[in-house]
Structure 1
Amino acid sequence: MLSIAVAATASAVIAVPAAGLFGYRRLRRTAHAKRLRITSPYGVEESGFARIGGIDQWISIRGEDHRNPVILELHGGPGATNLIFASRTRAWERHFTIVRWDMRGAGKTFGHSGADGQGDMSLRRLEHDALEVTQHIRARLGVDKVVLLACSFGSFVGLRLARNHPELYGAYVGTDQNINAGGRDHAAYRALLDRLDAAGKRKELAAVTAMGPDKSAWSVEDWSQYNKHTVGSDPLTFDTVKTVVVGSLLSSPLHSLRELPAYTKAMTFSQRVAPESATIDEWAEGTTFAIPFFIFQGEHDVITPPEPVRRFFNDVTAPVKDFTLIQDASHFASFRHPDQFLDLMLTKVRPLLTSQPITR
């Protein structure tokens, strides 16, 4: 849940009135646009708005072969669309059809109708939207099931879909996986205090200490400050936000310069959903899944630490399950190392979905 920290970093970079920045953006966008072209005879490349949950929501569908397994990606934030990472994950589209959906309160969906046009902003509403998007994809692509790829905040929604609607999904894959335990686990909070103390950041330490470990009692401002301090206190996370996230945003050929401020405003707007997640108890909601269950987590993730995720994973019952750490990665692990992530998808997930051989 890095919306505010990412938005602040992106806004700072976007605001720099440097001709060199815009020159870099133009060159990178041109190169990425060329890379994103799909010319294969069985390819699919379409995007636009669909009526989901009573509002127009943006859906992108891309892949080299429409006969490949279909992935529905649930982005994080809240409000942080993954569409900006299309160039980094271009190789994924050789083996999967990738569906990227800008949830209400995110990306092009937010930019289309603004803050007043987003309607109900709640986890339950996002879950219902996701079900509608799933049905839309099944009809559009003519498939019975899709793979859920749930990222960060999107994993709260993803776990509920995987538990309650196994008839719609061929597998669950969580990355930057969130596991809440009804407020009982304060490991990430205590680790942040330790990092701030070790760095001698007394002011920040005092501010986070004053919040207390009970996230359900935090205000939206508390969440914002916590996320900023978490990103700033960990060099690997900060570098990933700066180079991978903001770098992808600035060089995305799928976003105009005019759309960039809306991208960051959407993340700030959607932060209102974050407090609702603090009361979730994933163990109480259920550890039994009727579909294959995978977690591919950043080894050094300080936002969603691997330890609570592994504890939940150990209690999961599923037809097939696997937990793998992605090395040299914190949060945004799949986008920092998209090739490593693809290898995991090809060796562990795809063989369960199709009998087609893998051709790299």
Structure 2
Amino acid sequence: MPLRLIALASLSLTVAAFAPHAQTAGDDAPHLSSAACTTAGQRIDEEGYVTIGGIEQWVQVKGDSCSNPVILHVHGGPGNPETPYTDHMYKEWERDYTIVQWDQRGSGLTFARNKLTDDVPLRIEQLRDDGIEVAHWAMKRFQRRQVILMGSSWGSALSVFMVKASPASFCAYVGTSQIVSEAAMQRPSYEAAMALARAAGDHDSIAKLDALGPPPWTNPRNPGILRRVLRKYEATSTDPIPKSWMTPSSARYTSAQYETNYTAGEDYSWLQFVGWKGDGIASRLDFYKLGPEFGMPVYMLQGAQDLLTMPASTRPYFDSIEAPRKAYVLVPRAGHDPNPPMLAAQFKVLRENVGECR
């Protein structure tokens, strides 16, 4: 969930709040090549724009060998791309995998190149098709029949739509902090937060939660207020995120213009997700309705201390899935957001289960 938006005093955003169409970080960036890269031992470290879904979208590719299996990582939020931080988070993975990161429509440097206002709807079908097109671009670039799909939180929701629509494109789905439905997520999280606050005598959090009242909600600020309370309690039983992970990997991601565009895209995407009256994309998510069939192995990782997408909601959904192979991994000392225990568990699942994915 967005870090900046939940801290805003008001969500009364207007078109004027968005950054102007001035030169932005990434406007002078090259388009990525579509030329095949298959040589063993040939390192790739590129980022730039690719034409996806009729617009220029930001894609980053890193790996030590073009012959390695390819991971397409679908970021969360929505509106929170990980492209600025990959050097610190996934460097170890690059020995064994080529990692493709993509700033989704409405996010990051894709938003910087294609500004959207809050009256322009963000459609899950368009995001799904964009993601599949990125996968096909990566398959062509690295001469692969399939890629590995990874998604966390919002990225897990988008990933499920992608694998359902194009199962032949993916050799495995690795989901983390899996979203199942808004109903399965919000009320149990609210009740867990209230129980923890009462047990701790945390009168400040109790007052905030009482003011919200139990979900469902129509105020778009409410999920962010709840998330701050959840993070507070997750922090008491999880390993912290290293400060180095939050250090941008290049000057491209540190300019004032980048920050302005990132925040504007984050706000836009989050409002599209929750809606002004609780009627956004989140209100329409229910993955049971898509059916239990998955045409590839499914590996679901769950933070044992995750208070947002809780094991009580993700485990029953996992149990309902029909897949050639599947595994559910409960990760101690991990909450909803990525941290070292979770990334270590993800890497272990990939190394031990997914194989070459040719």
TM over 0.5: yes
Q: Distance in 2 between matches of 1:237 and 1:129?
A: 37
Residue 168 of structure 1 corresponds to 169
TM (norm. structure 1) is 0.79
Contact persistence 1:61–1:98 (CA under 8 A): yes
- Note the residue ranges of structure 2 that are not aligned, 5 or more in a row: 9-39, 275-280
Contact persistence 1:76–1:151 (CA under 8 A): yes
Contact persistence 1:71–1:98 (CA under 8 A): yes
Contact persistence 2:152–2:178 (CA under 8 A): yes
* Residues 10-58 of structure 1 deviation map (CA, whole Å, 9 limit, x = unaligned): xxxxxxxxxxxxxxxxxxxxxxxxxxxxxx8422222101122232210
TM (norm. structure 2) is 0.79
> Where does structure 1 differ by over 6 angstroms across 4 or more consecutive aligned residues?
5-8
Determine helix, strand or coil for the equivalent of 1:186.
helix
Q: Considering only aligned residues, what root-mean-square deviation do their CA atoms show, in Å?
A: 2.9
Residue 319 of structure 2 corresponds to 314
Determine helix, strand or coil for the equivalent of 2:284.
coil
Q: Distance in 2 between matches of 1:6 and 1:347?
A: 38
Q: Distance in 1 between matches of 2:221 and 2:205?
A: 14
Do the aligned partners of residues 224 and 45 (structure 1) sit closer, same or farther apart at CA in structure 2, a change above 3 Å counting?
same
Contact persistence 1:181–1:283 (CA under 8 A): no
* Residues 156-193 of structure 1 deviation map (CA, whole Å, 9 limit, x = unaligned): 11112222311111111001221227558732221011
1:75 is aligned to 2:75: yes
Superposition deviation, residue 82 in structure 1: 1.5
Q: Distance in 1 between matches of 2:52 and 2:60?
A: 14
Q: Distance in 2 between matches of 1:115 and 1:324?
A: 38
Superposition deviation, residue 228 in structure 1: 2.2
Q: Distance in 2 between matches of 1:255 and 1:344?
A: 32
Contact persistence 1:183–1:279 (CA under 8 A): no
Contact persistence 2:299–2:349 (CA under 8 A): no
Superposition deviation, residue 336 in structure 1: 5.3
Residue 26 of structure 1 corresponds to none
1:66 is aligned to 2:30: no
Do the aligned partners of residues 184 and 94 (structure 1) sit closer, same or farther apart at CA in structure 2, a change above 3 Å counting?
closer
Superposition deviation, residue 106 in structure 1: 1.7
Instruction: Give the structure with the higher percent helix.
Output: 1
Aligned partner of 2:287: which letter? E
Contact persistence 2:303–2:342 (CA under 8 A): no
Superposition deviation, residue 341 in structure 1: 2.5
Q: Distance in 1 between matches of 2:339 and 2:292?
A: 24
Residue 326 of structure 1 corresponds to 331
Contact persistence 1:69–1:146 (CA under 8 A): yes
Aligned partner of 1:104: which letter? R
Superposition deviation, residue 309 in structure 1: 0.9
1:178 is aligned to 2:179: yes
Determine helix, strand or coil for the equivalent of 2:328.
strand
Aligned partner of 1:226: which letter? L
Do the aligned partners of residues 147 and 339 (structure 1) sit closer, same or farther apart at CA in structure 2, a change above 3 Å counting?
same
Equivalent residue for 1:257, pick from 247, 254, 257: 254
Superposition deviation, residue 233 in structure 1: 3.6
Q: Distance in 1 between matches of 2:344 and 2:54?
A: 37
Determine helix, strand or coil for the equivalent of 1:272.
helix
- Note the residue ranges of structure 1 that are not aligned, 5 or more in a row: 9-39, 355-360
Residue 294 of structure 2 corresponds to 289
User: Would you say how many aligned residue pairs link Structure 1 and Structure 2?
Assistant: 319
